[in-house]
Amino acid sequence: MPAPEVRIGLDVGGTNTDAVALDSNDVLLAKAKVTTTADVTGGIRAALASVLADLGPERSRVTHVMLGTTHATNAILERRGLDRVVLIRIGGPATHAIRPLFAWPQDLREAVSAGELIVEGGSEFDGREIMPLDLETVRRFLGGLGAGVDGVAIASVFAPVSAEHELRVGELVRAQLGDSVNVSLSHEIGTVGLLERENATVLNAALVGVARTVAGALAAALEEHGLRPQTFFAQNDGTLMALDFVLHHPVLTIGSGPANSIRGAAYLTGAGDAIVADVGGTSTDIGVLANGFPRESTTPAEIGGVRTNFRMPDLVAIALGGGSVVHDRDGVVAVGPDSVGHRLTERALVFGGDVATLTDAACAAGRARVGDPTIVAAQRATFEPALEAADAILADAIDRVKLVRGAQPLVVVGGGSVLVPDELPGVSEVQRPEHFDVANAIGAAIASVSGQVDRIFHPGSGGRQAAIDEACDEARRQAERAGASPGQTEIVEVEEIPLAYLTNPASRIRVKAVGPLGAF
Amino acid sequence: MRLDSGNLPDLARGCAVLGTGGGGDPEIGLLMSLQAVEEHGPVAVVDLDELPDDGLVMPCGGLGAPTVSIEKFGNGAEGSRLREYVERLWGKPVVALMSSEIGGSNGLVPVAWAAGLGLPVVDADGMGRAFPEMQQAAMEIAGVSPNPAVMTDERGNTLVIETVGGRWIERVMRAVAVEFGARASSSEYQMTVAQARTATVRGTVSLAVRIGELIRTASDDPVGQLVTQLRGYRLIDGKVVDVERRTTGGFARGRATIEGVGGDAGRSLELEIQNENLVARSSDRVVASVPDLITVIDAHAATTVTTERLRYGQRVSVIAFPCDPIWRTPRGVDLAGPRAFGYDFDYVPVEELRAGT
């Protein structure tokens, strides 16, 4: 099996678009950082062009391109370019008390929804049918749909226990509406919690067009350079999806940025378990690297005002960055939350500006050396309380993301990482890897492919272990479908949560399998 | 008072505080009641003194597994079926609905049903908090019969249940709920308005709304204001440093340790959990216990932290406040005191425990 030769990782963030090129030994060959453009694709083209120019003749060896992008998030936040979606909830009569999309912001609902239906059907927690599936009503509803429906989202009660009704309705939709309409099934998108899973499924169906556009633009940009590599998209658990998979699961790209920087930090330091701080100009995201992957949040994630329940990296975000403004309020020094942001290089004192920032404080103390540090050299004592305040905020946030007692290593990445001191309470060691400024693009480039199962199992005659084995096999198959090399997947996470208030034992089992990229 | 889209979110916040960490996620109940008042108009909250003595009050709510109610949250017509059966069995109309349990999701579900039925809810409930079992109700203490209990599911399966009392109501209904798919709706302990005036915990709906409003509007120190409002005690301001969980006998049990920060540095508090927060200990000494209320509040968001969301690193305040006097009667302590949950110590009211410190 030939190893990939040169891989390009691209990460589109709110401020910058980063690109890196790595060889088959993961040695960094080139890197680029450009400003993210309003249309997003412009930044991708510029970053790609820069890296390819640096590669020179080596560029013909590019076999893989991995993209982490904020396209999907932006489309939802701006209600732009979204597909029109019909939602079929299979959950009558058990779920009429809260109708579909009830808690959605009005404008987002109007931009996305082309109709909603609740039909009888769905599963109980133990796999029995709530009611027989009413396909006839679905057939009539589909027959009455006008033009202008791009996608159909299907969500069934307890689909994570039994997806049968979703699959049957999916088949009917394809047979009746044809292949031009995309179909999203909730059991492939989210976990237990009907409303959140349904919301995520509708958002997924609404993003298929956006994913096609981005994939097309990336392919066209590569084509301009005569390249036809295999392309992958980064997802929010720090792993990759193959192109055909992302076209069916575009919502999973949301949150890939922080996941990439955590994975990049892991790769750059070789750490398996650590705290990772991505320090930017305005804010700092602190996450946890557990067993080589970002720890996932257990609380519902809100996207564009809509509650969803798919996996997102568990982060503590604080308003602290290189551009944070240092205030002196009657002798009491405070830092932020306001920031000069991307205008640091014109506004900060060390760059000849007139705003005292955290970067100036770091320069005065000798932690950072940017601009002209002599401008602030005499103000060391004045800035000392500002750094103390910033360090305290940081130490507090680090403590909040920890799940266990004891000191852990801290990996700092991102443009503002010089602000972080070498010693912090609760931190055993501060690691500052080389190429920390493009950690997220590196995270995309080195990522592997995953599959995940999260549903309720009823231990049968085989007992608990048989149920866990079944979940593991299913997670491996999912990883292979997403592009992992067959036979090389490994199980990286198993979690079993027994359900309360039940007399018959049942457990929610979460399993994740990860494997290296398959050969082509 | 009327409940509408303006104050229902406050009610939900208050129900979470009175849920003492359990009672199910009020979010589902909130969405149900918001939809119901949007479709049918606001729900009047009436004091029991405003209703006729012989009027029939219908306590009601949902039972089952919280994990199931986030998938299969119900049809909305359960309330009207319960009312139909209750009226047929009693041979007279229901004048108002009442939450069997104000704590958690069940503080809101009857509001959604009442909107659909055009009935008021009374400013009272059956517990003044959340408890895991049906018979842990003020009505049981006051000698109101749970019969005839009516139980229904979203399909329309309906049972009328007569039990000999005590724990039988809990045992039978829990078993039927599992057959229904681990979620059911029920009414039990129906009574006249005259009985309800002394057999319920009164004023709890308006109290929950006030708590929610206070949390939403407090500009600084919402916890301090909450403690004043509830005539309670701030047990500790601290950080969760250990959470240990296990599931036995269908109940989620566990223990959490909170280490003091700021003015409480050097102290620590241990919480014992069985679906709800049951006992708080400091240096092996009990500082609060059931049936008094113990609630964990997130120091950043001022929201209630439910027992399943407790985790290492959270900054929290733990508060305790006195239960309704009915729980401090010998019968009340028997039903819901520490010994009812398997602890080997006697109940002492939180005020007396705090007076000793």
- At A305 the pLDDT is 87
Nearest to A97 among B32, B66, B314 (CB): B32
Dihedral sign (CA B104, B107, B108, B109):
positive
**Does any CB of chain A come closer than 8 Å to the CB of residue B66?**
yes
Is residue A226 included in any domain, yes or no? Answer: no
**pLDDT, greater one: A98 or B299:** A98
Angle between helices A256-269 and A439-446 (to 10 degrees): 90
**Does any CB of chain B come closer than 8 Å to the CB of residue A106?**
no
Domain boundary among A155, A177, A208: A208
- Nearest to A313, CA basis, from A259, A384, A354: A259
**Does B265 score more than 80 pLDDT?**
yes
Cα within 13 Å of Cα(B124), Cβ side: 26
- For chain B, what is the total number of helices (H) and then of strands (E)? 12, 17
Tell me the pLDDT tens digit for each residue of B67-77. 788 999 999 99
**Does any CB of chain A come closer than 8 Å to the CB of residue B64?**
yes
Domain that holds residue A178: 81-208
- At A192 the pLDDT is 84
Tell me the C-alpha to C-alpha distance, in Å, between residue A388 and each of A369, A385, A392, B20.
19, 5, 6, 38
CB atoms closer than 10 angstroms to residue A227:
18
Contacts of A427 (CB under 8 A, 6+ apart): A275, A395, A398, A407, A408, A409, A410
Structure-block tokens of residue B113? 């049903």
Nearest to A131 among B28, B32, B155 (CB): B155
Nearest to A194 among B70, B76, B314 (CB): B70
Nearest to A97 among B71, B112, B314 (CB): B112
Are A98 and B28 within 8 A, CB to CB?
yes
Give mean pLDDT, residues B183-203.
98
- At B340 the pLDDT is 95
Tell me the pLDDT tens digit for each residue of A32-68. 988 887 777 888 999 999 999 999 988 889 989 999 9
Are A405 and B241 within 8 A, CB to CB?
yes
Tell me the pLDDT tens digit for each residue of A381-424. 889 999 999 999 999 889 888 767 788 999 999 888 889 999 99
Are A403 and B31 within 8 A, CB to CB?
no
**Does A3 score more than 50 pLDDT?**
no
**Does A358 score more than 80 pLDDT?**
yes
With DSSP H G I counted as helix, E B as strand and the rest as coil, what are the percentages for chain A, rounded to 5? 35, 30, 35
Backbone angles phi, psi at B31, to 5 degrees: -60, -40
| Residues of A in Cβ contact (< 8 Å) with B5 | none
The angle subtended at Cα A283 by Cα A432 and Cα A27, nearest 5°, is 35
Average pLDDT, chain A: 88
Beta-bridge partner residues of B354: none
Backbone angles phi, psi at A79, to 5 degrees: 50, 50
B contact test, residue of A401, A501, A504, A509 with most B CBs within 10 A = A501
Give mean pLDDT, residues A493-506.
66
Dihedral sign (CA A382, A383, A384, A388):
positive
**Does any CB of chain B come closer than 8 Å to the CB of residue A125?**
yes
> What chain B residue is nearest to A132 in terms of C-alpha separation?
B155
**Does B155 score more than 60 pLDDT?**
yes
Q: Which residues of B70-93 are buried (b: 16+ CB within 10 A; e: fewer)?
A: bbbbbbbbbbebbbebbeeeeeee
Kindly provide the residue ranges of all beta strands, DSSP E only, lying in A228-298, ordered along the sequence: 230-234, 240-242, 274-279, 284-290, 293-294
**Does any CB of chain A come closer than 8 Å to the CB of residue B176?**
no
- At A244 the pLDDT is 82
Give mean pLDDT, residues B156-170.
93
- Residue numbers of A between 177 and 196 with CB closer than 8 Å to B: 192-195
| Residues of A in Cβ contact (< 8 Å) with B247 | 498-500
What is the value of ipTM here, to two decimals?
Answer: 0.93
Q: Which residues of A119-134 are buried (b: 16+ CB within 10 A; e: fewer)?
A: bbbbbbbbeeebbebb
The angle subtended at Cα B272 by Cα B270 and Cα B278, nearest 5°, is 120
| Residue pointed to by tokens 């309704």 | B324
**Does any CB of chain A come closer than 8 Å to the CB of residue B28?**
yes
- At A1 the pLDDT is 40
Are A498 and B247 within 8 A, CB to CB?
yes
> What chain B residue is nearest to A405 in terms of C-alpha separation?
B241
> What chain A residue is nearest to B116 in terms of C-alpha separation?
A97
- Nearest to A231, CA basis, from A465, A426, A438, A67: A67
**pLDDT, greater one: A154 or B242:** A154
- At B139 the pLDDT is 98
| All structural domains of chain B | 2-204 (3.40.1610.10), 221-355 (2.40.390.10)
| Residues of B in Cβ contact (< 8 Å) with A193 | 70-71
Q: Which residues of A189-207 are buried (b: 16+ CB within 10 A; e: fewer)?
A: bbbbbbbbbbbbbbbbbbb
Is residue A418 included in any domain, yes or no? Answer: no
**pLDDT band at residue A165 under the 50/70/90 scheme:** very high
Residue A498 carries which side chain, given as an amino acid letter?
A: P
**Does B279 score more than 70 pLDDT?**
yes
Is residue A116 included in any domain, yes or no? Answer: yes
DSSP annotation of A296 reads B
Q: Using CB atoms within 10 A of its CB, is residue A28 exposed (0-12), middle (13-18) or buried (19+)?
A: middle
- At A345 the pLDDT is 83
Give one word for A195, left, alpha or beta, with left for phi > 0 and alpha for psi -120 to 50: alpha
Is residue A354 included in any domain, yes or no? Answer: no
**Does B88 score more than 90 pLDDT?**
yes
Start-to-end C-alpha separation, chain B = 40
Tell me the pLDDT tens digit for each residue of B17-65. 999 998 888 999 999 999 999 999 999 999 999 999 999 999 999 998 8
> What chain B residue is nearest to A307 in terms of C-alpha separation?
B27
**pLDDT, greater one: B235 or A500:** B235
Report H helices in A342-379: 344-347, 358-364
> What chain A residue is nearest to B113 in terms of C-alpha separation?
A97
**pLDDT band at residue B98 under the 50/70/90 scheme:** very high
Structure-block tokens of residue B79? 């309330």
Is residue A136 included in any domain, yes or no? Answer: yes
d(CA B273, CA A446): 43
Nearest to A503 among B241, B242, B250 (CB): B250
Are A503 and B178 within 8 A, CB to CB?
yes
Are B315 and A400 within 8 A, CB to CB?
yes
Residue B182 carries which side chain, given as an amino acid letter?
A: A
Is residue A133 included in any domain, yes or no? Answer: yes
Return the percentage of chain A with pLDDT > 70, whole number: 96
Q: Assign A292 to helix, strand or coil.
A: coil
CATH number for the domain spanning A178: value is: 3.40.50
Is residue A464 included in any domain, yes or no? Answer: yes
Chain-centroid distance of CA B310 in Å reads 19
Determine the distance in angstroms separating the CA of B89 from the nearest CA of chain A, rounded to an integer: 26
The Cα diameter of chain A in Å comes to 80
Tell me the pLDDT tens digit for each residue of A424-452. 988 999 999 989 889 999 999 988 888 88
Is residue A169 included in any domain, yes or no? Answer: yes
Determine the distance in angstroms separating the CA of A93 from the nearest CA of chain B, rounded to an integer: 6
Nearest to B181 among A98, A103, A125 (CB): A125
**Does B356 score more than 70 pLDDT?**
no
**Does any CB of chain A come closer than 8 Å to the CB of residue B154?**
yes
**Does A499 score more than 70 pLDDT?**
no
Angle between helices A194-224 and A41-55 (to 10 degrees): 50
B contact test, residue of A90, A98, A194 with most B CBs within 10 A = A98
Give mean pLDDT, residues A312-339.
86
Angle between helices B78-90 and B109-117 (to 10 degrees): 70
Determine the distance in angstroms separating the CA of B179 from the nearest CA of chain A, rounded to an integer: 10
With DSSP H G I counted as helix, E B as strand and the rest as coil, what are the percentages for chain B, rounded to 5? 35, 30, 35
- Residue numbers of B between 118 and 147 with CB closer than 8 Å to A: none
Tell me the C-alpha to C-alpha distance, in Å, between residue B39 and each of A113, A390, B3, B78, B155.
20, 50, 13, 16, 22
Q: Which residues of A330-341 are buried (b: 16+ CB within 10 A; e: fewer)?
A: eeebebbeebbb
| Residue pointed to by tokens 């905020």 | A393
- At A8 the pLDDT is 95
The angle subtended at Cα A229 by Cα A223 and Cα A232, nearest 5°, is 115
- At A290 the pLDDT is 85
Are A502 and B28 within 8 A, CB to CB?
no
CB atoms closer than 10 angstroms to residue B307:
24
Are A501 and B314 within 8 A, CB to CB?
no
- At A502 the pLDDT is 55
**Does A238 score more than 70 pLDDT?**
yes
A contact test, residue of B28, B35, B39, B71 with most A CBs within 10 A = B71
d(CA B323, CA B224): 19
Q: Decide: B159 and B147 in contact? Cβ < 8 Å.
A: no
**Does any CB of chain B come closer than 8 Å to the CB of residue A370?**
no
Contacts of A149 (CB under 8 A, 6+ apart): A84, A85, A86, A114, A115, A177, A181
> What chain B residue is nearest to A161 in terms of C-alpha separation?
B71
Highest mean pLDDT among A23-37, A188-202, A268-282, B104-118: B104-118
Nearest to A125 among B68, B250, B275 (CB): B68
- Nearest to B169, CA basis, from B182, B159, B154: B159
**pLDDT, greater one: A191 or B30:** B30
Domain boundary among A148, A175, A208: A208
Total domains present in chain A? 2
- Nearest to A257, CA basis, from A430, A13, A512: A13
Structure-block tokens of residue A151? 């996608």
| Residues of A in Cβ contact (< 8 Å) with B275 | 500
Calculate Rg over the CA atoms of chain B.
19
Are B72 and A194 within 8 A, CB to CB?
yes
**Does any CB of chain A come closer than 8 Å to the CB of residue B174?**
yes
Q: Using CB atoms within 10 A of its CB, is residue B352 exposed (0-12), middle (13-18) or buried (19+)?
A: exposed
Give mean pLDDT, residues A76-93.
94
**Does any CB of chain A come closer than 8 Å to the CB of residue B65?**
yes
Give mean pLDDT, residues B230-241.
94
Are B182 and A125 within 8 A, CB to CB?
yes
d(CA B236, CA B258): 8
Are B154 and A508 within 8 A, CB to CB?
no
Give mean pLDDT, residues A488-495.
85
Domain boundary among A177, A208, A239: A208
